[in-house]
Amino acid sequence: MKNLFLAVIALAFVTVSCAGGADKKAESKKEKTETKVAKQEKAEVSSKSEDEPKEEVAEVAEVVIEGNDQMKFNLDKIEVYAGQTVKLTLKHVGEMPVESMGHNWVLLKKGVDRADFAMAAMNAKDNGYIPADRKGDVIASTKMLGGGEEVTIEFTAPKKGTYEFLCSFPGHHGMMNGKFIVK
């Protein structure tokens, strides 16, 4: 009886041991198959992205930005592509006159300090708050607008990078500014 009991335990042990090994072999084979399939799928996606046409870039990027009587632009980020023609329309959606709440849009060259430029602009009222001696710091700009007015300008987007834009009316640059991102 004792021998029978030991034989049953030994048989159970062998069965569990063999089954566990079979499971491990099956799992290993399954993992290899999954890895192979994943590599194939990745290769297919990679070849598809090479075959598919790149994102179509419009010849002209049309941008409309609004300034209001609360000294705010409705956009704080504009994205375009290098070399793209940018057709930018600035709308002053407020009601106050240009003398008290004028707005413009000025795109600065890379590396130009926005606050420093704005300080110099405070003394350039006769030049639309664009200092004559700092025109080299400007990529593009609009004229100064009063409430209800709008203006459209066109320029070529500079090389890839992040640039700053602002309203150069005295005291506005702190709230009316943003990033001009060129991809």
Q: How confident is the model at residue 16 (pLDDT cuts 50, 70, 90)?
A: very low
Q: Which residues contact 183 (CB under 8 A, 6 or more apart)?
A: 79, 80, 81, 82, 160
- Cross-strand partners of 156: 85
Q: What CATH fold (topology level) applies to the domain 60-182?
A: Immunoglobulin-like (2.60.40)
Q: pLDDT tens digits, residue range 132-175? A: 999 999 999 999 999 999 999 999 999 999 999 999 999 999 99
Per-position b or e across 114-148, b if 16+ CB within 10 A of its CB: beebbebbeebeeebbbbeebeebbbbbbebbbbe
Domain boundaries, the chain: 1-52, 60-182
Average pLDDT, rounded, for the chain: 82
**Closest to 164 (Cα-Cα) out of 154, 174, 156, 155:** 174
pTM, two decimal places: 0.71
